[in-house]
Amino acid sequence: MTGIGSAGLSNSPRLRIYFVSSYGLRSGWRLLIFLAILFVLFRANSQFISPMMRGWDEVSQYLARDVVDFIAFLLASWVMAKIEGRTIADYGLPWRRTFRSQFWQGVLLGFASLTTLLAVMRAIGIFHFGKIALHGVESLQFAGFYGAAFLIVGVREEFHYRGYGLFTLSKGIGFWPAAFLTAAFFGYSHSGNSGETWLGLFNASAGGLFFCFLLRRSGDLWMPIGFHVAWDWAQTFFYGVPDSGQVLPGHLFNGSFSGPAWLTGGSVGPEGSVLCVLLLAVLGFVVTHWLRETKYPSPDAVLGPRQRPAKFDTDTSAITPE
Which pLDDT score is estimated for 27? 86
Instruction: Work out the average pLDDT over 46-73.
Output: 93
Q: Is a pLDDT exceeding 60 seen at residue 284?
A: yes
Which pLDDT score is estimated for 5? 44
Distances (CA, A) of 290 to 92, 116, 269: 20, 18, 28
Which pLDDT score is estimated for 73? 98
Residues 113 and 212: their CA atoms lie apart, in Å, by 17
Q: Is a pLDDT exceeding 80 seen at residue 198?
A: yes
Distances (CA, A) of 296 to 78, 162, 183, 275: 19, 12, 16, 29
How many residues comprise the chain?
A: 322
Which pLDDT score is estimated for 7? 47
Contact 133, 47 (CB under 8 A): no
Minimal CA–CA distance to 100: which of 219, 237, 232?
219
Amino acid at 101: S
Q: Provide the residue ranges of all domains of the chain, joining segments of one domain with +.
A: 6-318
- pTM of the prediction? 0.89
Asked if the peptide bond before residue 297 counts as cis, ω within 30 degrees of 0, the response is yes
320: confidence class by pLDDT, cuts 50, 70, 90: low
Minimal CA–CA distance to 243: which of 318, 161, 157?
157
Residues 45 and 50: their CA atoms lie apart, in Å, by 6
pLDDT tens-digit series, residues 148-194: 999 999 999 999 999 999 999 998 899 999 999 999 999 999 988 88
Residues 11 and 301: their CA atoms lie apart, in Å, by 29
pLDDT tens-digit series, residues 243-255: 988 888 999 999 9
